[in-house]
Amino acid sequence: MTAPCSQRAARIVASDAVSLAARSLSPAARVLPAPRWRGGFNLLVPVSLSNTRWYARVKLQSFGPRGLHERLMANEVATLGLLSSLAPGLAPRALVPEQIGAPAPSPPLTGGTELLFFVQPVEGRPVHDHPAAFTPAQFARLIHDLAGVYVRLAGRRFTRIGSLLSPAGGVGPLSGPAGTTVRPVFFDAPRGPFRTARERYLAQIDHVLQAIERGWASPDAVGTYVLHLELRGLVERCAEMGEEGPTFLTHGDDRGDHILVRGDGSIAGVIDWELAYTAPLAEAVSPRFLLASSNALSPLEEALCAALAARGHPELAEAIPRGRKYLRLNLLLGAGVHELDGARVWLVQDAFGEARRPPGTLRAWLKEAEARWAQHEGLGRVRQGVDPAAARRARHFLVELERRELARRGSEPKPEPAAVERDDWEPAPPAEVQKLRPAGLLRKLSTRALGRWRGATAAAS
């Protein structure tokens, strides 16, 4: 949590916005002194409504315009309303304002200048908090319940890609594509709904390209622009993404902290639906938090496929391998090239069936890609706007990144170009860039537990 977010949360708590909103629902309502939780998007403040514990879910509005957060809240409200009938008990119940499309037991409320609504608590722990301690029985129960979640979500079909307009299930513009808040992935104005995945992702990639041309701060604007030109080409050439068909509700931010589990591994509920949207089946049933560091299915994904087939839904199991392209694309979409390495670029090419050789270094790939797009007008404009000193620092960072990549593979690093002066480089990449960790948090955390599971299975046999 950044300092501005902490200060913003403190101001919300110190104000009377939550208590006023709560009392508009129940005259005897009061804010509880229990612990509060905050994330990148929301602050949760415990309250008592009619002697029942609830949480005020308050938008921190820590990035972007207010209109974006209004759309995100409206989407979450509509999604929770739909889930209350589509999958009872899966998501928390909500008390929400009338003006954003859901019933309220009293006059509409907004908490003054704050954007908020109320949700009932879900008792459980995030699944990525303790997977290393899971027993085989807990893993089995988790996968069994997760299969049930996807079966229920697949029970409702839509015809467009976008965010929900109301609990009745109407699909409107896409309010919050998956991505981090520091990237220009969120549309600055409503876009869609879309007929195909190609239409959706081209619009999203073009939005990033335009942001770079407008001066989006990146340690390597040229490299980041080239990366997104390459992603655009992958999407344009993918025949599957150009097909129209039914779409299904997907969570949109499934990193593992969205699923709360009980002690036996069963799913108590799924929370944080503000980035939910409708998507093609292969994208909708591919959980990001089970993704391995290769494009092969992880052991937990294989178990999920088996559980879906056992429930009589082989079409859902068969869709999971096809979802690789969506997972890999979303991991790179909006990323700066300085956040990547050659292997991650190769993985998205491989997911689209266009990896023609083993992965090289990011620097080598970028050199080839820049040559392919040398005549692109937008790239020319970006080049003209880059400060020469910043360009030298970016080149030097790529050299250092290549050293790390080759060191991990046990190869000798290439000599540093003499034209790059060390005095011109300011080596201060973000901590998350220095780590360069592959995706798949749950897979990594659960490696030891999976080993114990296999060992126990082998011993039993």
Query: In the numeric block, which tokens belong to residue 68?
Result: 């974006």
Percent of the chain residues past pLDDT 90, beyond the cut: 48
Cis before 92 (ω within 30): no
What angle, 0 to 180 degrees and rounded to 10, lies between the N-to-C axes of helices 377-385 and 197-213?
Answer: 30
179 vs 204, 254, 327, 332, 392, CA distance in Å? 11, 11, 11, 9, 28
In this predicted model, which residue has the larger pLDDT, 358 or 199?
199
Query: Which pTM was predicted?
Result: 0.83
| Per-residue pLDDT at 287 exceeds 70 | yes
**264: pLDDT strictly greater than 50:** yes
Euclidean distance between CA atoms 31 and 386, whole angstroms: 51
Query: Strand 125-126 and strand 248-250: pairing?
Result: unpaired
Tokens of 243: 């097909």
Strand segments, DSSP code E, in 203-314 are 248-250, 259-261, 267-270, 277-279
321 vs 181: which has the higher pLDDT: 321
In angstroms, the Cα distances linking 10 to 22, 36, 126, 358, 451 are 18, 11, 25, 50, 44
Beta bridge partners of 94: 119
Residue with tokens 């195909």: 196
pLDDT per residue as tens digits for the range 365-422:
999 999 999 999 999 999 998 888 888 888 888 888 888 888 877 754 444 433 333 3
Backbone angles phi, psi at 277, to 5 degrees: -155, 170
β pairing state of 42-49 and 30-31: antiparallel
| pLDDT above 70 for 432 | no
CA angle 70–72–75, rounded 5-degree value: 105
Residue of higher predicted confidence among 220 and 358: 220
**Whole-number pLDDT of residue 22:** 86
| pLDDT tens digits, 108-136 | 334 457 889 999 999 999 987 766 678 88
What is the rounded CA–CA span in Å between residue 433 and residue 385? 24
The 3-state DSSP class for residue 115 equals coil
CA dihedral angle for residue 257, residue 260, residue 266, residue 269, rounded to 10 degrees: -120
Residue type, 68: L
Where in the chain do CATH 3.30.200.20 domains reside?
11-121
The CATH number assigned to the domain with range 11-121 reads: 3.30.200.20
Angle between helices 197-213 and 221-237 (to 10 degrees): 160
Share of the chain above pLDDT 70, in %: 80
Closest listed residue to residue 57, CA positions, set 21, 26, 27 = 21
Please say whether the beta carbons of 188 and 175 come within 8 A.
no
Q: Is the Cβ–Cβ distance between 22 and 47 less than 8 Å?
A: yes
Q: Where in the chain is the domain with CATH 3.90.1200?
A: 128-385
User: Among 1.10.3470, 1.20.144, 3.90.1200, 3.40.720, what is the CATH number of 128-385?
Assistant: 3.90.1200
- What's the CA gap between 230 and 127, in Å, rounded? 35
CB 125 within 8 A of CB 142: no
Indicate if the alpha-carbon torsion angle 87, 88, 94, 95 is positive or negative.
Answer: positive
Quick one: pLDDT at residue 434?
31
Phi, psi of 103 (to 5 degrees): -70, 145
Residue 183 and residue 94 in contact, taking contact as beta carbons nearer than 8 Å: no
Query: In the predicted model, is pLDDT for residue 303 greater than 80?
Result: yes
* Type of residue numbered 294: S
Round the average pLDDT of the chain to a whole number and report it.
81
Report CA dihedral (147, 151, 152, 158) to the nearest 10 degrees.
140
Q: What is the mean pLDDT of residues 266-276?
A: 95
What DSSP state is assigned to residue 90? Answer: S
* 283 neighbors 197 (Cβ within 8 angstroms): yes
CA 174 to each of CA 22, 189, 247, 316, 431: distance values in angstroms, whole numbers, following the listed order: 30, 9, 13, 24, 31
The predicted-structure confidence for 48-73, as pLDDT tens digits, reads as follows 988 899 999 998 887 777 888 888 88
Q: Greater confidence, 88 or 451?
A: 88
The predicted pLDDT at position 177 comes to 53
Supply the pLDDT for residue 187.
Answer: 65
Cα dihedral 429, 431, 437, 439 in deg (nearest 10): -100
pLDDT of residue 183: 60
Q: What would the mean pLDDT of 345-353 be, rounded to a whole number?
A: 95
